[in-house]
Amino acid sequence: MKNRKRYIIFLNNIYSGKDNDFYLKRLRGKITVAVDGGIRFFRKNKIVPDILIGDFDSAPRLSKKYLNKIEVIQHPQKKNKTDSQLAVELVLERGAGAIEICGALSNSEIDHTLGNIFLLELINKHKKKNRDDISACIIDSEKYIFLIDDESIEIKGKPGDYISIIPIEYNCRVDFRGLVYPPPKDKLRLGNSLTLRNQFKDRQVIIKSTGKIVIVTYSER
């Protein structure tokens, strides 16, 4: 991962003032991508992203002087993919080794939220096809979301932090270490809530799925 590019993507969303410092700290050492209205985060902080991508139906008007500092990639409004997907595909094409997606979770648009979460599966498919090593997650100031498919993941936290493991296929086999409650003895079925709201016992948790896809959410206590 040392020489791989690290990207952070800001989708169109409301980035509240109380969370501003959290996001600013995440920018360090990363290539920054604003997706359409996600440019507002950068404008608010008087900084410039490396890349601006989208059809610009939700972005504010920007001066030529500001745009001249950015790599601008504009797509038509009539298209078969969301701006968010186009941004993820772009950074994959450019050799991303780590991808963080911000602003993916909406309080009102469940369709966009679900679509954004499953962008993690698009990244997983790319990883498998190219036999590549890419870390990817959705983040905000309160939670992290991962998607694992027949692989293991290590998450660092502190005792009492919350972990939920959500199967999105039938007959999921999951195993883990470092949590208060033990892993299930039987396979999980789609809709099973047995592995929701477990807690860190130690400062490191390892979760493994075998042959199936599961969503993992992590949040501090």
Sequence spans of domains, the chain: 1-141, 144-221
- With 70 as the cut, is the pLDDT of residue 200 above it? yes
Q: What band does 106 get if pLDDT is binned at 50, 70 and 90?
A: confident
- With 70 as the cut, is the pLDDT of residue 3 above it? no
Q: What band does 131 get if pLDDT is binned at 50, 70 and 90?
A: confident
- With 50 as the cut, is the pLDDT of residue 21 above it? yes
Fold of 1-141: Rossmann fold (3.40.50)
- With 90 as the cut, is the pLDDT of residue 160 above it? yes
Strands 173-177 and 204-210: antiparallel
Q: What band does 1 get if pLDDT is binned at 50, 70 and 90?
A: very low
- With 50 as the cut, is the pLDDT of residue 190 above it? yes
- With 70 as the cut, is the pLDDT of residue 167 above it? yes
Average pLDDT over residues 29-34: 98
Fold of 144-221: Jelly Rolls (2.60.120)
In the chain the first and final C-alpha atoms are separated, in Å, by 29
Question: Do 1-141 and 144-221 come out as alike in CATH topology?
Answer: no
- With 90 as the cut, is the pLDDT of residue 107 above it? no
Q: What band does 132 get if pLDDT is binned at 50, 70 and 90?
A: confident
Q: Judge whether 98 and 139 are in contact, CB under 8 Å.
A: no
At residue 173, the pLDDT reads 94
Q: Cβ–Cβ contacts within 10 Å for residue 63, how many?
A: 7
Q: Judge whether 146 and 111 are in contact, CB under 8 Å.
A: no
Q: Judge whether 183 and 158 are in contact, CB under 8 Å.
A: no
- With 60 as the cut, is the pLDDT of residue 78 above it? yes
Q: What is the mean pLDDT of the chain?
A: 94
Task: Kindly give, in sequence order, each residue whose CB lies less than 8 Å from that of residue 77, ignoring residues fewer than 6 positions away.
Answer: 55, 57
